[in-house]
Amino acid sequence: MWNWLKKPLAVHQLVLDFEQAYSLDKQSLAAKASYLVLDFETTGLDAKKHHIVSAGWVKISGGKIHLNSAQYQVVRSPASVGQSAVIHGLHNHEVRQGIELEDLLRLLLQELKGTVLVSHHSALELSFLKQSCQNCFGRSPAFKAVDTLKLELYKMRLKGGPVAQTALSLSACLQRYQLPEVTEHHALSDAFGCAQLLLAQLKSRGASCTLADLFQQSR
Would you say residue 15 lies in a domain? Answer: no
Cα–Cα distance for residue pair 86/165, rounded to 1 Å: 22
The answer to whether residue 72 scores a pLDDT higher than 80 is: yes
Q: What is the DSSP string of 132-193?
A: HHHHHHS-------EEHHHHHHHHHHHT-S---GGGGSHHHHHHHTTPPP--TT-HHHHHHH
> What's 163's domain CATH number?
3.30.420.10
User: What is the tens place of the pLDDT at every residue in 98-156?
Assistant: 999 999 999 999 999 999 999 999 999 999 999 999 999 999 999 999 999 999 999 99
Would you say residue 34 lies in a domain? Answer: yes
Show the domain range for 36. Answer: 3-8+30-217
Span 49-77, mean pLDDT?
97
Question: Where does residue 29 rank: exposed (0-12), middle (13-18), buried (19+ CB within 10 A)?
Answer: middle
Would you say residue 17 lies in a domain? Answer: no
Would you say residue 116 lies in a domain? Answer: yes
Would you say residue 95 lies in a domain? Answer: yes
CB atoms within 10 A of CB 47: 22
Residue 161 pLDDT: 84
The answer to whether residue 211 scores a pLDDT higher than 70 is: yes
Would you say residue 16 lies in a domain? Answer: no
Would you say residue 18 lies in a domain? Answer: no
Cα–Cα distance for residue pair 119/136, rounded to 1 Å: 22
pLDDT tier at 63, thresholds 50, 70, 90: very high
Span 189-195, mean pLDDT?
98
Cα–Cα distance for residue pair 113/148, rounded to 1 Å: 20
User: What is the tens place of the pLDDT at every residue in 7-26?
Assistant: 454 557 899 999 999 999 99
User: Total domain count for the chain?
Assistant: 1
Would you say residue 129 lies in a domain? Answer: yes
User: What is the tens place of the pLDDT at every residue in 22-48?
Assistant: 999 999 999 999 999 999 999 999 999
The reported pTM is 0.93
Q: Which of 209, 20, 197 is nearest to 120 (CA)?
A: 197
